[in-house]
C-alpha cells in the first residue's frame, strides 16, 4: 500500500469514526416520552450510527448510481428471501410498474398481457398496485375484501375469473398474507400470473414460507414508513431468470443489453448480433426490446438499505410484539370495534394495527380518530378506501365481481395505528388507555 492509498484509507476511517460520534451527540439528551405531549407516530425511520456510516462511506466513493452497495443489498435481500433474483428500483410503486410491465413483454408470446386482458385485484388498497394495470391498458377486476383481515377470500378471487383473465395482482394489505398457497395453486391450474405486492409485508409468512416468494413476481417498498428504509426505494423479486431479465430491461430504459453500469460486452456478442431491421452487428448496448423507463436507485440509498437489512429480523419481531400488545389491550372492545386479524396459516409481519368501527355501535371513526389525534396519537385511513370513489378512477374501464360492500365500510369506518419498531411500551400503553376511554 503506497502512502497516498494509506492516507486515503486512514482519512476515510477517521471520517466514519466522527460520524459515529456525531450520531451519539445527536441522540444524547433526547427527551423521554410524555403521554399526551409527545407524538406517537404511526411509522418512522429507525436507525443508528450504522446507517449514517454506510451512507457517508458511499458518498465518499462518489459513484452515485447503482454500485457496490446496490449489489450487496440485492444479494442480501435475495438471501433473506431465498430467491434467485432481486433487482432494486426507486420506489415500491416503480416496483409494481416494472413487475406488471414485465408481463406485457412480447418475449412471453401468448402468455403476455395485452390491452383488454383482465387482472384481478382489490379496490381497498394503495393506488399504485392498480395503476400499472390501467397504464398498460389492461382491465382491473375488483373483488371485495374481508373485514378484519382486509384481504379477499379465495372463493371471491376464483369467482371473478373470466375468459380474459390473465393475472392476479394484489397486496398483502398491512402485512396480512392472503391465502397464498391456495391462490398459487389456483393460478397455476387456470394459467394465470400471480404478482404479490409485498410492499407492506416484508418478513410475513404463509404456511411457514416468506411472502414475496410464492408468486411469479413480487414487489417491495423501502419508503420510510415500511419495514426497512433507504429513503425512497423498492425492489422486484422473482425465481424466474427470464422474467428477471425482462424486468431489468423495463427498469433500465428498455434496453436489450443486461450489462451492469460501467460494464461492456458481458455477453461477448456486443457487435455480432441481428436485431429487427437494424444493421447487423449494431451496438447491443443501444438496442431496445421494450418501451422502458429509468427506475434505478443510487448507491447511497442502497448503502442505507444494507445497514437496515441487518436489523430486519429484530424489526419484524418488534412489529409482532407491538401488534400483540395492542391486540391484548383492545380485546375487550370487540363489541364496538372489528379488531385486526389474519387468515389461518398466516404469520404477519404487521405494517399497522387496523380497526374498523362497527356500524350502529354508537361510535364513528371520526369520533375515535379525533380522540386519538387529540392525544397526539397519529392515525391513518386504510389508504384510499374504495379506489373507485376517487376522482381519478371514476371513469376507468373496470369490472366489479360481486359487490364492494366491505370496501365501502372501510372507506367510512376504518383506520390504523402504528406498530413500527420505534414505539415503546409506554407509547403502546398510552394508545390503549385512550382507546379504552373513547370506546370502553
* Catalytically annotated residues: 226
- The grid coordinates listed for 256 are 436489450
- What is the three-class DSSP state of 333? helix
Distance CA(356)–CA(336), nearest Å, equals 9
H helix runs in 165-269, sequence order = 180-190, 241-251
- Residues contacting residue 277 through CB under 8 Å, at least 6 positions apart: none
Distance CA(178)–CA(200), nearest Å, equals 12
Question: Strand 205-206's sheet: what is its strand order?
Answer: 209-210, 205-206, 346-347
- Residues contacting residue 33 through CB under 8 Å, at least 6 positions apart: 424, 426, 427, 430
**DSSP percent split of the chain into helix, strand, coil, nearest 5:** 45, 15, 40
**Residue 195 region, left (φ>0) first, then alpha (ψ -120 to 50), else beta?**
beta
Contact by Cβ (8 Å): 95, 236: yes
Q: Which residue shows C-alpha cell 370496501? A: 407
- The grid coordinates listed for 303 are 448503502
Contact by Cβ (8 Å): 121, 133: yes
Distance CA(273)–CA(227), nearest Å, equals 44
- The grid coordinates listed for 436 are 379504552
If we measure between CA atoms, which residue out of 375, 376, 381 comes closest to residue 413? Answer: 381
**Rg of the chain over CA atoms, in angstroms?**
23
Contact by Cβ (8 Å): 336, 439: yes
| Residue 255 Cα distances to 263, 289, 290, 339, angstroms | 14, 6, 7, 48
Amino acid at each position: 500500500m503506497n502512502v497516498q492509498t494509506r492516507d486515503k484509507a486512514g482519512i476515510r476511517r477517521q471520517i466514519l469514526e466522527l460520524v459515529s460520534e456525531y450520531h451519539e451527540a445527536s441522540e444524547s439528551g433526547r427527551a423521554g416520552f410524555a403521554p399526551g405531549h409527545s407524538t406517537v407516530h404511526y411509522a418512522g425511520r429507525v436507525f443508528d450510527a450504522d446507517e449514517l456510516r454506510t451512507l457517508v462511506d458511499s458518498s465518499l466513493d462518489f459513484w452515485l448510481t447503482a454500485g457496490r452497495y446496490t449489489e450487496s443489498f440485492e444479494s442480501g435481500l435475495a438471501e433473506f428471501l431465498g430467491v434467485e433474483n432481486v433487482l432494486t428500483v426507486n420506489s415500491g410503486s416503480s416496483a409494481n410498474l416494472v413487475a406488471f410491465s414485465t408481463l406485457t413483454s412480447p418475449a412471453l408470446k401468448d402468455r403476455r398481457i395485452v390491452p383488454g386482458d383482465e387482472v384481478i385485484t382489490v379496490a381497498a388498497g394503495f393506488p399504485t398496485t392498480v395503476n400499472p394495470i390501467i397504464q398498460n391498458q389492461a382491465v382491473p377486476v375488483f373483488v371485495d375484501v374481508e373485514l378484519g383481515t382486509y384481504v379477499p377470500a379465495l372463493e371471491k378471487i376464483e369467482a371473478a375469473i373470466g375468459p380474459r383473465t390473465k393475472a392476479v395482482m394484489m397486496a398483502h394489505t398491512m402485512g396480512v398474507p392472503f391465502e397464498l398457497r391456495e391462490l398459487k395453486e389456483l393460478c397455476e391450474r387456470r394459467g394465470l400470473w400471480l404478482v404479490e405486492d409485498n410492499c407492506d409485508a416484508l418478513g410475513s409468512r404463509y404456511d411457514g414460507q416468506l411472502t414475496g416468494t410464492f408468486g411469479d413476481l413480487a414487489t417491495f417498498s423501502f419508503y420510510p414508513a415500511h419495514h426497512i428504509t433507504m429513503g425512497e426505494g423498492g425492489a422486484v423479486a422473482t425465481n424466474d431468470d427470464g422474467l428477471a431479465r425482462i424486468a431489468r430491461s423495463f427498469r433500465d430504459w428498455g434496453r436489450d443489453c443486461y450489462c451492469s453500469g460501467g460494464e461492456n460486452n458481458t455477453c461477448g456478442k456486443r457487435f455480432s448480433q441481428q436485431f429487427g431491421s437494424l444493421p447487423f452487428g449494431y451496438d447491443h448496448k443501444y438496442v431496445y426490446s421494450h418501451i422502458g423507463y429509468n427506475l434505478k436507485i443510487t448507491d447511497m440509498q442502497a448503502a442505507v438499505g444494507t445497514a437496515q437489512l441487518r436489523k430486519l429480523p429484530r424489526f419484524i419481531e418488534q412489529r409482532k410484539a407491538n401488534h400483540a400488545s395492542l391486540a391484548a389491550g383492545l380485546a375487550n372492545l370487540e363489541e364496538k370495534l372489528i379488531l385486526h386479524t389474519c387468515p389461518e396459516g398466516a404469520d404477519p409481519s404487521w405494517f399497522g394495527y387496523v380497526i374498523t368501527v362497527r356500524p350502529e355501535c354508537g361510535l364513528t371513526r371520526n369520533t375515535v380518530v379525533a380522540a386519538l389525534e387529540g392525544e397526539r396519537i397519529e392515525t391513518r385511513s386504510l389508504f384510499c378506501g374504495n379506489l373507485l370513489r376517487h376522482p381519478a378512477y371514476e371513469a376507468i374501464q373496470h369490472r366489479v365481481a360481486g359487490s364492494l360492500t366491505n370496501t365501502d365500510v372501510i372507506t367510512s369506518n376504518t383506520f390504523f395505528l402504528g406498530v413500527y419498531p420505534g414505539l415503546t411500551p409506554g407509547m403502546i400503553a398510552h394508545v390503549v388507555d385512550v382507546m379504552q376511554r373513547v370506546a370502553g
